[in-house]
Structure 1
């Protein structure tokens, strides 16, 4: 693909029809054939490779949140391993790519000089310090920071609440013990007596739900909550329905989740 991009830019540069496009293509052609650009592309490629499965699962919303939360932890671990152990392999990968396409490979021990600036005005640091410390480490740390910020222990438990209640796959993710523990996050909504009652109510509720085809055909929480109201099951299981309403108040099933998860795009910038 890289060679095709070079060919396309060269073709635009040699085109006499549009001088503005020729100029922009000429500048772009210079940029993409630098070590800086190749390093950026390979770093982003490797990071997106780690987070790709997580991104795909998160787009499914509440239908696959259990797997999503597992993948969050896996991504954190892999990103940390990449930061700790993958510098040498990345430099080798970038170097081989540059040699294949006749791009100058920099010496990490030489002083760093930004593209388009003179050495005199460049910051006094080595290529190794810039690419390893100020770039490689910082980009990965930013990604880890965002994942830790948006998927800490408390928020993860809240997000999993949807999965425990979800009707998908015949309520396969239902977990009575974990749903009971979630009530501790809502002390104003569940008294000690309510929690005791809920413990018995949940077992009757799940047996009831699994015995009716009308509920087993549902996949999303919103559809499920509507069906509960239509069948007046919300009155039969008021405490369970309260849990469902609290779960639906979470942003995971709304457009706000896309804004929250879009922080992963930081690696593209």
Structure 2
């Protein structure tokens, strides 16, 4: 049993090594590294407990731009890196001008007429990047980014560094127009002055250093909710 198990592991390892020593594997490995490297800063920021909303939204925008730049301008540099790695490690590089053949079909059965380079460029490289952009656009729509950015105006950390009456008015006007009457708006400035003083003096808000926790306490705290009506 031991000998058979050892041989099985050896055979599996040999098969995996054979796959790893192919251009296709190296291409995908390099592409995944570039994608993860590009999105890493944003991912790290989104996982922080005391998250800086404004910085996170800025990173969403710059990450999108970096992916778009990678798609539009960096194909040749990317391919040079892949080819250079393959040459250094004696991995065969296919002729990129050859017609691409799907491994499961004979050439006479294939309907495509694109080259090997076109396959890797447009059917792998671009598709992977497009999926990243689509995911970012789905999770962070322009409206949700604007809402989160405006909500940061309520944040009292760092001495109300992000506090902005103009943004709070915009927040109400764009997202909560039916929750505030005209009379409420007349007294909003005074309410905001109370809000700033209350958060400084109330011990329940002393250690609040990020927006989600602040929002939760505002909802849970009946006195604050009665005072500001949200």
- TM-score grouping bracket, smaller chain normalisation: 0.7 to 0.9
- Judged with a 3 Å threshold, the aligned counterparts in structure 2 of structure 1 residues 216 and 32 are, in CA distance, closer, same or farther, namely same
User: Does 1:135 find its partner at 2:124?
Assistant: yes
**Aligned alpha-carbon RMSD (Å):** 2.7
- Judged with a 3 Å threshold, the aligned counterparts in structure 2 of structure 1 residues 224 and 190 are, in CA distance, closer, same or farther, namely closer
Q: How many residues align?
A: 225
User: Does 1:150 find its partner at 2:142?
Assistant: no
C-alpha contact (below 8 Å) 1:218/1:224 kept by paired residues: no
Separation of aligned partners in 2, 1:73 and 1:224: 24
- The residue number in structure 1 matching 2:180 is 190
- The residue number in structure 2 matching 1:264 is none
User: Does 1:210 find its partner at 2:200?
Assistant: yes
- Judged with a 3 Å threshold, the aligned counterparts in structure 2 of structure 1 residues 96 and 195 are, in CA distance, closer, same or farther, namely same
User: Does 1:46 find its partner at 2:45?
Assistant: no
Secondary structure of 1:190's match?
Answer: coil
Secondary structure of 1:111's match?
Answer: coil
Runs (4+) of structure 1 moved beyond 4 Å? 114-123, 211-214, 227-231
- Select the residue among 173, 179, 184 that pairs with 2:162: 173
- Judged with a 3 Å threshold, the aligned counterparts in structure 2 of structure 1 residues 23 and 167 are, in CA distance, closer, same or farther, namely farther
- The residue number in structure 2 matching 1:79 is 67
Of stretches 199-208 and 42-51 in structure 1, the one that deviates more from structure 2 is: 199-208
- Select the residue among 222, 236, 239 that pairs with 2:213: 222
Secondary structure of 1:18's match?
Answer: helix
Secondary structure of 1:174's match?
Answer: coil
Q: Pairwise mapping of residues 1-269 of structure 1 onto structure 2 (< 5 A)?
A: 17-60=5-48, 63-114=51-102, 119=107, 123-184=112-173, 185-210=175-200, 215-220=205-210, 221-222=212-213, 225-226=216-217, 232-235=223-226, 237-239=227-229, 242=230
Structure 2 segments unaligned to the other structure (5+ residues): none
1:147-202 deviations in Å (ceiling 9; x for gaps): 12221211102223443323433433222211211112122212233233223321
C-alpha contact (below 8 Å) 2:97/2:115 kept by paired residues: yes
Separation of aligned partners in 2, 1:107 and 1:32: 19
C-alpha contact (below 8 Å) 1:35/1:104 kept by paired residues: yes
Separation of aligned partners in 2, 1:183 and 1:192: 12
